């Protein structure tokens, strides 16, 4: 039996802060068997950050046949905190230099020992997960650690308790089965470990006190240093007789203070560098994905030859893993991350990022790139010192996405192999994906020896993500490849549902029908299977189960609708629907307890009313019918899959009116502000001394705890019921007093105490997120919200966090741009801009206004422009930018106002005129007004810009085209070297009416304007616009016009798009089927069709005797090569029938990969490879 640990007060303990931990480790080694000692000695290595995932992956791998769930996510948080402690404990002056390895080895040994008993290990892993929630982290203590012996001692005392707990874990495993059975009855698991858990709670409280003390000591030391240095100057020495006597002692103290201060500053700089790169928690989505994995599944990918090639080669490679929605890509990637850590070499550095659809910040390109940079450079940041550390700090501040990529590239090393795993990029906006595509191209074009990128997503993402650089390896997640995993998933999940009595059957043989139906209906979709199993568990009889099996939902939308109908019928339907609504608009995931408060709120509320709380939140969560899940570690609520949010908010269904994202977002913002204005808070805040600079925190509110667990509440209610005769006539105050006496003997559980210490659950969210829910208010329509908003910004609602106040000063402030303007620009916050325009317009300096007008990333910039135009004393430059923006947006009111002040309507702004901006947007009224103001209609500018007529024609704005022509716009003005004529622009867009009007105005039908330009018919053919092609042919368009260096003939353009009808018409008009491929990347018509996999077009071109072996362009491919590389097996078959040469040397970017056969094998197109071999490919 392990001895209870006790430790004396800090005042009487020795100088070594690790003494309790050393004693615990000695006791730990003393209780080990010989085999366990060998295991312990093998485990005593100093861990690094990657050791955590490697170890938990080992646990899951070793125990895959013993358990129905993966335990890695349960252990990860605690082990991560332990690794962070291990990384610094060996820096103690008096410690054993191997103490970190011994702590890590002891914990590993205890966990491995417990994992041999499945039922016991499930409880142990759950306990470790619970401990991890409150375990001290480096983020809390790292920067305060140097120079604080008390904090060091408290941390060591905490881990001494952990080691004693490990002793207990191992002792229990030594009991015989009979003893274990008796113990579980007489002394349950919770009771066995209660003493240790209580000691951990006490140790955590002591650490919190030491953190507070260390913070004050650090401030005092810094102040003392300044005072000593002041006292040490020559003037002071001349007037201080005792200086020499005291100087030695003071010097020693000052020197130690300086050393500690330097260490603290270094720790703070390192944290700042990491947070500057990204503060996103990249571990949580990985843990949630890992929780969903069934043991022994998601392992097939790591046996694929292509994956092994990608993983092992010392080269820069991209592996693209594609699959449709719900086939398990995310779980697959989570296991790749685990296994890469488990098999990593010393030179391997592994990073990963799983996008979370319910956390908007995780979907920005900047945060994705920043998180990857943080992980890849973490080791370098940790060892950086002095000038290098300060340089890293300066270089990492306020970086854009592109700048973060550049920062990362400058610090990558040739002797390292970098792995980057990305999942879920499909959920990002198109603009974010575009930024990521550019970043990926730069990263994979670097000279770093080995940069390995693995991306998983739906098939449509490939074209967006890999425009500039192509993946070398491609693997598809198909139904065939996941068939074995699906069988295992179905069997394991059904088994777990039966064990936990979620699935109840009258006839046990029915389980076979269920299993077979799931297998046959899943089509490789794990999400569909998971949701259907939940649906089966909800049925009340075997007949109901058979009814579901006989009418299986045909897809995700149908099963989502079924579940929504169930939700509406449940007893807690109102709260369940509200949970589903809020889950889609929250800015971070809420916990169950936060939802409990949020669901009780209403806009007119003045205080928190616990009587409105849902009594059974477990029931509310369950009544969401499987559309959400609760994270078992932190109790946060999430949609079961991002497709649930898409269905609820973007697809028409019978509850669509209740899922208006804009309304729900604003409603939650109103609830947040209402909450912050509760009278309870206002009364407490008024007690704070006037003029105090101390920020108000929830702990200062001093509010009576209102939380108890439902089990505790039931016990209390039962006790009152037993005394009802004596209590029924008492007043409310007397009843309260008597109740307290009755409850004195009810010892609250650990959970109850925790809940009582956490008051006002929703406060943290309301304080930090209110501002993000009210970005688009109209003071006239949203009167109540606008008043709340103004009070929050003014500081009248003091608990409302104003994030711009806590940002660091930047160079922008030196340029007369305030922090609030910078913040609202970054976040596109129109309501905040409106507030300052109305109430604090002095912050809208000329530089600030110009920054807003020039910032193309601001959404709906027209509204910002309108407000700026309304300001007085705008500079000439501001007026010019305002006119351009107002013209682009079609804001005639602002245009009129700006013209009245006498602005020059033809001034170039960003190489454009106001008329061009208005014409491009199709704003006829603005065009009319600008022409009246003498706007020059034929202004032509360099670069990529267009005349007003070309801009209007490209947008298909016929009325604007008519007006510009009537103002004598030149219809055949040649565009710039990279642009188009008006007719070409209209033809490319398929705007037939505009084409007709331009031809009437004598537009030249066969003009070629630029190096990469196209004639009108080439442009129309490339877009598949048959009617425009017909009209241009009637106007004598030349179907075989010679092409420019990077252009295409009309037939080649149509073939690339697969537009068969256009091709038929062009061939009828005499198009040359074998026109040569042009320039670097051109294609013949057959090559273009083959690359796109357009089988019908291929057949038609072959009928016209197209040359199957026509030469490729410099960076192009023959028709067979193009089809084979893209994996179009049917096209390959057809071309081989026409005697396509399989052994023509490959040119272009892939020539270094070898022959066509070698390239196809490398890219994973094995069916194509087999066919090429049959045809004699070498």
* 196 vs 208: CA distance, rounded Å: 18
Measured in whole angstroms, the distance separating CA 721 from the mean position of its chain's CA atoms is: 51
Could you tell me the CA-to-CA distances from 865 to 333, 821, 832, 936 in Å, in that order? 45, 14, 14, 23
> What's the confidence (pLDDT) of residue 93?
44
For 160-203, the pLDDT digits (tens) are 999 999 999 999 998 887 776 776 666 688 888 999 999 999 99
Residue 148 CB contacts under 8 Å (≥ 6 apart), including other chains: 210, 213, 214, 217, 218
Task: State the SS3 of 816-856.
Answer: CCCHHHHHHHHHCCHHHHHHHHHHCHHHCCHHHHHHHHHCC
Spatial separation of the C-alpha atoms in residues 76 and 290, rounded to whole Å: 11
Top mean-pLDDT range of 147-156, 664-673, 825-834, 1138-1147: 664-673
Q: What is the largest CA-CA distance in the chain?
A: 110
Tell me the per-residue pLDDT of 900-930, one tens digit each, with 9 for 90 and over.
988 889 999 988 899 999 999 999 999 999 9
**What is the residue-averaged pLDDT of the chain?**
86
What sign does the dihedral 802-807-809-813 (CA atoms) show? negative
Residue 216 has pLDDT above 90, yes or no: no
What's 33-82 look like in SS3?
A: CHHHHHHHHHHCCCCCHHHHHHHHHHHHHHCCCCCCCCCHHHHHHHHHHH
1088-1136 pLDDT, tens digit each:
999 999 999 999 999 999 999 988 887 788 999 999 988 899 999 999 9
Nearest to 853 by CA among 833, 839, 832, 831: 833
pLDDT digits (tens, 9 = 90+) for 1015-1044: 999 999 999 999 999 999 999 999 988 666
Please give the model's pTM, rounded to 2 decimal places: 0.82
Residue with tokens 């920005």: 364
**Pairing mode, strands 628-630 and 637-639:** antiparallel
pLDDT in tens, 975-1005: 555 568 999 999 999 999 999 999 999 999 9
What is the percent of the chain with per-residue pLDDT over 70, rounded to a whole number? 83
Of 116-120, 268-272, 547-551, 807-811, give the lowest mean pLDDT range.
807-811
The CATH architecture one would assign to domain 280-477 is 3-Layer(aba) Sandwich (3.40)
pLDDT at 911: 86
> E-assigned strands of 590-657?
628-630, 637-639
Q: Which residue has the tokens 């390109």?
A: 365
Q: In what order do the strands lie in the sheet with 417-423?
A: 348-354, 417-423, 450-457, 317-322, 473-476
Report helix, strand or coil for 948: helix
Q: What's the CA gap between 700 and 687, in Å, rounded?
A: 10
Strand partners, 630: 637
Q: How confident is residue 702, by pLDDT bands cut at 50, 70 and 90?
A: very low
Neighbour count for residue 449 (Cβ, 10 Å): 15
299-344 pLDDT per residue, tens: 999 999 899 999 998 888 999 999 999 999 999 999 999 999 999 9
Which of 188, 184, 203, 189 has the alpha carbon at shortest distance from 141?
A: 203
Distance CA 18, CA 531 (A): 51
The pLDDT score that the predictor gives to residue 10 is 45
The sign of the torsion formed by the CA atoms of 113, 115, 120, 126 equals: positive
Beta bridge partners of 912: 909
User: What percent of the chain clears pLDDT 90, i.e. is strictly above it?
Assistant: 61
Tokens representing 415 are 């002797």
Q: Residue with structure tokens 């795993």?
A: 421
Please state the separation of Cα 100 from the chain's center in Å.
Answer: 33
Domain boundaries, the chain: 15-217, 280-477, 479-552, 708-744
Burial class (CB in 10 A: 0-12, 13-18, 19+), 500: exposed
Give the whole-angstrom CA distance, residue 893 versus residue 873: 18
pLDDT of residue 684: 63
DSSP SS3 for 1163: coil
Q: For residue 800, count other CB atoms closer than 10 A to its CB.
A: 22
DSSP state for residue 748 in the 8-state scheme: P
Q: What is the pLDDT of residue 892?
A: 95
d(CA 337, CA 318): 16
Contacts of residue 734, defined as CB under 8 A and 6 or more positions apart, other chains included, come to none
Contacts of 38 (CB under 8 A, 6+ apart): none
What number is the average pLDDT over the span 528-546? 96
Q: How many residues does the chain have?
A: 1178
Are 804 and 823 a contacting pair, CB within 8 Å? yes
Note the pLDDT tens digit of each residue in 1055-1068.
999 999 999 999 99
Half-sphere exposure of 853 (CA within 13 A, CB side): 28
Q: How far apart are CA 709 and CA 592, in angstroms?
A: 13
State whether residue 473 is helix, strand or coil: strand
The angle formed by the CA atoms of residues 603, 609 and 611, to the nearest 5 degrees, is 125
User: Does the CA dihedral 83-84-90-94 come out positive or negative?
Assistant: negative
Cα–Cα distance for residue pair 425/363, rounded to 1 Å: 8
Other CB atoms closer than 10 Å to residue 555's CB: what's the count?
12
Average pLDDT over residues 268-277: 92
């Amino acid at each position: 039996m392990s001895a209870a640990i006790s430790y004396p007060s800090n005042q009487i303990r020795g100088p070594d802060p690790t003494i309790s931990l050393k004693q615990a480790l000695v006791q730990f080694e003393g209780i080990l068997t010989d085999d366990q000692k060998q295991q312990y000695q093998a485990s005593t290595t100093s861990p690094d950050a990657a050791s955590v995932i490697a170890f938990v992956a080992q646990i899951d791998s070793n125990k895959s046949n013993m358990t129905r769930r993966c335990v890695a996510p349960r252990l990860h948080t605690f082990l991560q905190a332990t690794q962070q402690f291990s990384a610094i404990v060996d820096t103690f002056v008096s410690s054993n230099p191997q103490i970190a390895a011994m702590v890590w080895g002891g914990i590993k040994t205890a966990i491995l020992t417990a994992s041999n008993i499945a039922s016991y290990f499930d409880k142990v892993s759950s306990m470790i997960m619970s401990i991890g929630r409150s375990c001290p982290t480096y983020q809390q203590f790292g920067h305060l650690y140097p120079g604080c012996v008390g904090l060091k001692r408290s941390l060591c005392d905490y881990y001494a308790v952990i080691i004693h707990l490990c002793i207990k874990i191992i002792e229990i495993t030594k009991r015989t089965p009979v003893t274990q059975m008796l113990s579980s009855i007489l002394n349950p698991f919770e009771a066995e470990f209660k003493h240790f858990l209580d000691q951990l709670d006490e140790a955590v409280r002591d650490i919190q006190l030491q953190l507070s003390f260390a913070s004050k000591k650090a401030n005092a030391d810094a102040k003392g240093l300044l005072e000593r240095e002041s006292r040490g100057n020559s003037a002071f020495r001349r007037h201080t007789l005792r200086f020499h006597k005291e100087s030695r002692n003071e010097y020693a103290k000052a020197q130690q203070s300086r050393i500690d201060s330097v260490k603290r500053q270094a720790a703070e700089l390192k944290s700042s560098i990491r947070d500057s790169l990204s503060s996103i928690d990249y571990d949580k989505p990985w843990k949630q994905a890992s929780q969903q994995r069934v043991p022994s599944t998601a392992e097939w990918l790591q046996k694929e030859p292509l994956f092994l090639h990608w993983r092992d080669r010392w080269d820069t490679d991209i592996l693209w893993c594609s699959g449709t929605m719900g086939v398990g890509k995310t779980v697959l990637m989570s296991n790749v991350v685990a296994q890469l850590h488990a098999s990593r070499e010393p030179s391997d550095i592994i990073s990963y990022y799983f996008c979370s659809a319910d956390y908007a910040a995780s979907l920005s390109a900047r945060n994705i790139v920043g998180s990857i940079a943080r992980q890849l450079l973490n080791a370098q940041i940790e060892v950086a010192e002095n000038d290098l550390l300060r340089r890293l700090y300066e270089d990492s501040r306020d970086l854009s996405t592109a700048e973060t990529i550049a920062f990362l590239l400058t610090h990558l090393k040739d002797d390292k192999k970098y792995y980057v795993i990305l999942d879920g990029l499909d959920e990002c906006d198109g603009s974010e994906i575009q930024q990521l595509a550019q970043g990926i191209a730069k990263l994979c074009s670097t000279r770093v020896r080995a940069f390995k990128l693995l991306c998983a997503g739906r098939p449509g993402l490939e074209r967006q993500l890999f425009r500039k650089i192509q993946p070398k390896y491609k693997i598809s997640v198909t139904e065939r490849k996941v068939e074995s995993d699906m069988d295992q998933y179905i069997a394991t999940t059904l088994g777990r549902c039966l064990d936990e009595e979620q699935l109840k059957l009258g006839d046990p043989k029915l389980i076979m029908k269920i299993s077979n139906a799931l297998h046959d209906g899943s089509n490789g979709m794990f999400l569909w299977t998971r949701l259907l199993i939940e649906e089966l568990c909800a049925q009340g009889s075997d007949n109901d189960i058979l009814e579901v099996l006989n009418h299986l939902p045909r897809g995700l939308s149908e099963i989502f609708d079924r579940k929504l109908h169930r939700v509406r019928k449940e007893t807690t339907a109102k709260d369940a629907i509200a949970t589903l609504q809020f889950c889609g608009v929250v800015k971070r995931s809420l916990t169950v307890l936060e939802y409990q408060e949020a669901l009780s709120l209403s806009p007119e509320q003045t205080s928190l009313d616990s009587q409105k709380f849902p009594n059974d939140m477990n029931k509310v969560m369950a009544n969401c019918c499987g559309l959400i899940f609760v994270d078992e570690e932190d109790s946060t609520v999430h949609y079961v899959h991002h497709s649930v949010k898409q269905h609820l908010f973007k697809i028409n269904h019978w509850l669509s009116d209740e899922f208006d994202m804009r309304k729900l977002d604003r409603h939650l913002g109103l609830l947040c502000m209402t909450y912050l204005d509760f009278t309870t808070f206002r009364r407490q805040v008024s007690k704070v001394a006037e003029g105090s600079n101390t920020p108000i925190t929830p702990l200062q509110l001093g509010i009576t705890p209102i939380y108890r667990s439902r089990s505790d509440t039931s016990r209390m209610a039962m006790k009152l019921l037993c005394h009802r005769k004596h209590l029924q006539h008492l007043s409310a105050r007397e009843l309260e007093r008597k109740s307290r006496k009755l409850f004195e003997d009810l010892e609250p559980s650990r959970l109850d105490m925790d809940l009582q210490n956490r008051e006002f659950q929703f406060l943290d969210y309301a304080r930090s997120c209110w501002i993000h829910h009210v970005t688009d208010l109209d003071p006239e329509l949203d009167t109540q919200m606008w008043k709340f908003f103004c009070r929050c910004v003014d500081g009248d609602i003091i608990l409302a966090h104003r994030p711009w106040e806590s940002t660091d000063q930047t160079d922008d402030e030196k340029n007369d741009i305030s922090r609030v303007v910078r913040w609202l620009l970054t976040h596109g916050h129109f309501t905040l801009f409106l507030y300052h325009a109305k109430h604090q317009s002095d912050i809208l300096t000329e530089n600030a206004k110009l920054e807003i007008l020039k910032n193309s990333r601001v959404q709906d910039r027209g509204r910002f422009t309108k407000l700026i135009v309304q300001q007085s004393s705008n500079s000439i430059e501001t007026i010019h930018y305002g006119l351009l923006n107002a013209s682009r947006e079609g804001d005639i009111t602002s245009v009129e106002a700006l013209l009245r002040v006498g602005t020059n309507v033809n001034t170039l702004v960003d190489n454009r005129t106001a008329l061009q901006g208005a014409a491009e947007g199709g704003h006829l009224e603005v065009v009319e007004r600008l022409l009246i103001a003498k706007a020059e209609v034929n202004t032509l500018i360099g670069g990529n810009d267009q005349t007003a007529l070309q801009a209007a024609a490209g947008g298909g704005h016929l009325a604007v085209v008519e007006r510009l022509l009537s103002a004598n716009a030149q219809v055949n003005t040649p565009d710039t070297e990279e642009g188009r004529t008006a007719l070409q622009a209209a033809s490319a867009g398929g705007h037939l009416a505009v084409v007709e009007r331009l031809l009437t105005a004598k537009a030249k039908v066969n003009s070629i304007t630029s190096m990469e330009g196209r004639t009108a018919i080439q442009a129309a053919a490339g877009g598949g616009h048959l009617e425009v092609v017909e009209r241009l042919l009637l106007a004598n368009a030349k179907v075989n016009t010679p092409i420019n260096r990077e252009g295409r003939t009309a037939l080649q353009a149509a073939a690339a798009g697969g537009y068969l009808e256009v091709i038929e018409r062009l061939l009828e008009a005499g198009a040359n089927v074998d026109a040569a491929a042009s320039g670097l990347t051109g294609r013949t018509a057959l090559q273009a069709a083959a690359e796109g996999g357009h089988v019908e077009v291929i057949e038609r071109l072959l009928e016209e005797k197209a040359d199957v072996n026509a030469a490729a362009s410099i960076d192009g491919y023959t028709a067979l090569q193009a089809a084979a590389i893209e994996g179009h097996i049917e096209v390959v078959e057809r071309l081989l029938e026409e005697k396509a040469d399989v052994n023509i040397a490959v040119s272009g970017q892939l020539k270094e990969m070898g022959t066509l056969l070698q390239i196809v094998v490398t890219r994973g197109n094995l069916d194509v490879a087999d066919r090429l071999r049959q045809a004699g490919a070498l």
